[in-house]
Structure 1
């Protein structure tokens, strides 16, 4: 993998670059100090990953990121950012790392991008994603919530409500979902603290994530409300199919299974789906692979990325047992009334549970319809 670092010694210390170069013999590391040299290198030969310091001597970091996107749209772009990053940098980079960047953090970011490339080794897909002028941004409120909970297990209801309420638009969408027929059970919820108490933390995490993700404009002429409802149902189902230790991963993966439909230039890869006029190209990437690639750029865990990419064929995932990919396959299939791979369920020893899962799906959908 070819990795290009751009910036001076203050933002990119030599010891850090040497560590990256020595980490894997397959990693070919180059370093230039200014943007023009980076542009010349990118024009001369493809780069897999470009890491850009917050400040460059000859041009703004955003200018270089834009040039790299134009020259090499398939290149993964990592921006190192300070306390107040320019908005255009955030719209042009795939991943952001705070300065001073930690060794483990940088290696994890590069390693996850390499793993993602191996999983989704499709140049057309990388080019399609790279050409999108503004990718849906990572769900910041959801990530902040997860970070707060990981940092302090005793985070209280008031703290969670205050964090969600820090974004009024997201808070309003969360309350709207809380009072939908599926979640409210006839009881009006008027504030976030009550919502957390009544619905529970796991459900609130789903609602925050759904509120952020599905607020993005769709890449197709799709019904985002219906897409969101299917995602929430699939998330609830997947959570119930897995042991407690894996339930949150499965719920998140199912919730994000069709996120690729929010991207332009991809095709709806579900069986029987009809492509809209602007995506009739049969060679256009499928929305499942595109969605998985986007989640990888956001830095989500690999089991979620695998499950999204392989939701129609869970046997391709990196585990032989029934786990995240299997639960997402069953949950999304039942919600969308698609065939379930019963041969896969038989091989993984869970086929006997399929009728029970179908019954759960029917009950959830009846509740929503009611």
Structure 2
């Protein structure tokens, strides 16, 4: 089997040498191809002399821009992950998206950033997708890219000793994210009592996983025109689903961690749908249509993996999305401990719970609430949810002020 290959394009010799040293240490089996000339890199890619798994390219170079190299890569090597290196911290997210990239990192970067990217590349390669589906996903135009605020939060949240105060400081530097976090933290529908006005208290109230999911939604609002009705409708449905899923988990007595997990699953599951609003022609892609899975679910699956989102959450989102789109009746519920362990049986049961609450929340958020509630209360598959569903009548989602991210 040929080794993994990475192409690095940068006109600064020090950057090239630094990246080469990092890759030799982090991935000694990888073949590394260095280019200080974007035109030379373009020639190699166009001629098919290199079949890269990862292309890392500086944005601003004499002559040809890094954007052009990545565009060529998207055309000739769609399965490669495209990474843009930039020293401009003021760059607009819409400009990043127009650069045909999957990931961007800002200078100066650390070896840990490169290690994280390599892990994402290997996860993408391991996805159980056909060649045609991979090619189609890799050729998608205008893929959303997560902003620098989320990248900073992601680094913090991956540390076992992450401090809430540090998370609050990062959140506090992004006005859009602050508004969205405070909105969620002051939702009476989620069982919160009393208003909070500080980011510190909001972070403690919501929890780290919920903050991370809201940060992704906030980043996407900088990519898409959320002021358009179609975009706003998708976002509001996703938020409604996330709130309802969280409340159902609370009403059924699950732990805070499990309720946060359901919030993340329900919110992030709509990313592919949001992309399709911006690129409706993608629904006619022959490669994507060859899959038995919904196209929006495939796009979500791909993007969340590219972004390095927790593997278990990504798999549960795909499973829940496919089940919700199926014409078959949902799987029957199982008894689930409120203190799950790491056994395969527990993980399978948790996955089923996640699929069920996603199905319920999505129906209650997207259909007429009373009609959907009456319908699911007559489905034996949800017998264990009946008390929680009946309790939801006392505080229906109409009472939530669900505005799309600003």
Does TM, normalized by the shorter one, top 0.5?
yes
Q: Is 2:214 the partner of 1:205?
A: no
Q: Note if 1:253 corresponds to 2:270.
A: no
Structure 1 pair 140/11, CA: closer, same or farther in 2 (3 Å)?
closer
1:220-249 Cα deviation digits (max 9, x unpaired): 946221222113333555687877777655
- The residue aligned with 1:12 is 16
Q: Is the 8 A contact 1:11 1:100 kept in 2?
A: no
Q: What are the Cα deviations for residues 116-151 of structure 1, in whole angstroms up to 9, with x where unaligned?
A: 232142444444444444322316545544545648
Which residue of 106, 110, 115 corresponds with 2:123?
115
In the alignment, structure 1 residue 264 sits paired with structure 2 residue 244: no
- The CA deviation at 1:110 is 1.9
> Contact between 1:11 and 1:99, CA under 8 Å: does it hold in 2?
no
Retained in 1: the 8 A contact 2:45–2:72?
no
**Contact 1:6 1:34 (8 Å CA) reproduced:** yes
1:329 offset after TM fit, Å? 1.5
Q: Identify unmatched segments of 5+ residues in structure 2.
A: 325-330, 332-342, 365-379, 400-406
Question: CA offsets per residue over residues 166-188 of structure 1, 9 Å max, x none?
Answer: 22233333344445552476855
Shift of 1:33: 2.8
Task: Quickly say closer, same or farther: Cα 1:139–1:125, change in 2 above 3 A.
Answer: farther
Secondary structure in structure 2 of the residue aligned to 1:22: coil
Q: Deviations over 1:64-103 (max 9, x none)?
A: 2233234444431022343637544565321234555544
2:189 aligned to which of 182, 186, 189: 182
Confirm or deny: 8 A CA contact 1:170 1:208 kept in the other structure: yes
Query: Residues 248 and 62 from structure 1, CA distance in 2 versus in 1: closer, same or farther, beyond 3 angstroms?
Result: same
> Do structure 1's residue 335 and structure 2's residue 361 form an aligned pair?
yes
State the Cα deviation string for residues 243-286 of structure 1 (Å, max 9, x = none).
7777655543343122211112899xxxxxxxx88735674461
Higher relative contact order (CA 8 A, sep 6+): 2
Whether the 8 Å contact between 2:97 and 2:144 is mirrored in structure 1 is: no
In 2, Cα distance between the equivalents of 1:301 and 1:195? 23
SS of equivalent to 1:135 = coil
Aligned to 1:342: none
* Among 47, 56, 66, the residue aligned to 2:52: 47
Query: Judging changes above 3 Å, is the alpha-carbon distance between structure 1 residues 210 and 119 closer, same or farther for their aligned structure 2 residues?
Result: closer
The equivalent residue for 1:321 is: 345
- The 3 A distance-change label for structure 1 pair 161 and 191 is same
**For residues 124 and 154 of structure 1, do their structure 2 counterparts lie closer, same or farther at Cα, with a shift above 3 Å needed?**
same
- Conserved 8 A contact 1:145-1:160: yes
Q: Write the distance in 2 (CA, Å) between the matches of 1:298 and 1:17.
A: 20
Alpha-carbon RMSD: 4.3
Structure 1 residue corresponding to 2:114, chosen from 106, 130, 133: 106
Q: Confirm or deny that 1:307 pairs with 2:316.
A: yes
Does the 8 A contact of 2:123 with 2:305 survive in 1?
A: no
Does the aligned pair in 2 maintain the 1:249–1:303 contact within 8 Å? no
How many aligned residue pairs are there? 340
Aligned position for 2:238: 227
Distance 2:298 2:189 in 1: 30
Instruction: Check 1:245–1:162 CA distance in 2 against 1; reply closer, same or farther (3 A cut).
Output: closer
Distance change in 2, residues 1:114/1:228 (3 Å) = same
What are the superposed Cα offsets for residues 11-33 of structure 1, whole Å, 9 maximum, x if unpaired? 1224334446633xxx5543333
* Partner of residue 35, structure 1: 38
- Tell me by how many angstroms 1:294 deviates: 0.7
1:348 is matched with which residue?
Answer: none
Shift of 1:214: 6.4
Counterparts in 2 of 1:41 and 1:173: CA distance versus 1, 3 Å: same
The CA distance in 2 between the partners of 1:126 and 1:22, in whole Å, is 26
Paired with 2:301 and 2:112, the residues of 1 have a C-alpha distance of 23
CA drift of 1:320 comes to 4.2
Q: Report what 2:338 is aligned to.
A: none
Q: TM-score, normalised by structure 2?
A: 0.65
CA–CA separation in structure 1 for the residues paired with 2:254 and 2:41: 47
